[in-house]
Amino acid sequence: MLIAHVLRGKGAVVHTLTAEATLEQAAKELNLRKVGALVVVDESGGLVGVLSERDIVREVARRGSACLGDRVSAAMTRDVITARSDETVDEGLSRMTDRRIRHLPIVEEGRLAGIVSIGDLVKHRIMAVEAEAAAMQAYIAAH
């Protein structure tokens, strides 16, 4: 199964914000959208980082609530690991596990095409395994 199949199922909506937004604004956006991470983009929509709930929690733990007035650029991950939609779910899961990340922006021809979470990929992997098991059971029952 390809990451493209996951995106078709969940949609290609990506919640974004700019690096100039504050951590408080980012926290409110995460809560409003009910997501665990936001993609940080520049003025032209280019990918410049990812900000997760964990990033905000780390900043609050280090500096207290005063950090909520800081810019997203101070806390975001800049070296973003990405994938293409033609990669397999297993390739995405492997990359996420190896790099210890939970969100994987999907980039096609230099533009942001979507984002998947580790939960999205695990869900689709489980569905594939269940479909294989059902097919095997049907085959065995027929023979």
CATH label of the domain that carries residue 31: 3.10.580.10
The gap from C-alpha 24 to its chain's centroid, in whole angstroms, comes to: 20
Is residue 84 a contact partner of residue 112, using CB atoms and an 8 Å limit?
no
Per-residue model confidence (pLDDT) at position 128: 85
Percent of the chain having pLDDT more than 70? 100
Per-residue model confidence (pLDDT) at position 59: 96
Helix residue spans in 13-107 (DSSP H): 23-33, 53-63, 89-99
Q: 61 Cβ partners below 8 Å, 6+ apart?
A: none
User: How far is it, in rounded angstroms, from Cα 108 to Cα 85?
Assistant: 7
CA distances from residue 74 to 23, 29, 97, 137 in whole angstroms, order as listed: 9, 17, 25, 53
Q: Give the domain extent around 132.
A: 3-142
The gap from C-alpha 81 to its chain's centroid, in whole angstroms, comes to: 10
What is the mean predicted confidence (pLDDT) over 16-31?
A: 97
Per-residue model confidence (pLDDT) at position 94: 96
Residue 66 DSSP symbol: G
Total of domains in the chain: 1
User: How far is it, in rounded angstroms, from Cα 139 to Cα 143?
Assistant: 6
Mean pLDDT, the chain, whole residue set: 94
Per-residue model confidence (pLDDT) at position 133: 87
**Is the model's pLDDT at 119 over the cut of 90?**
yes
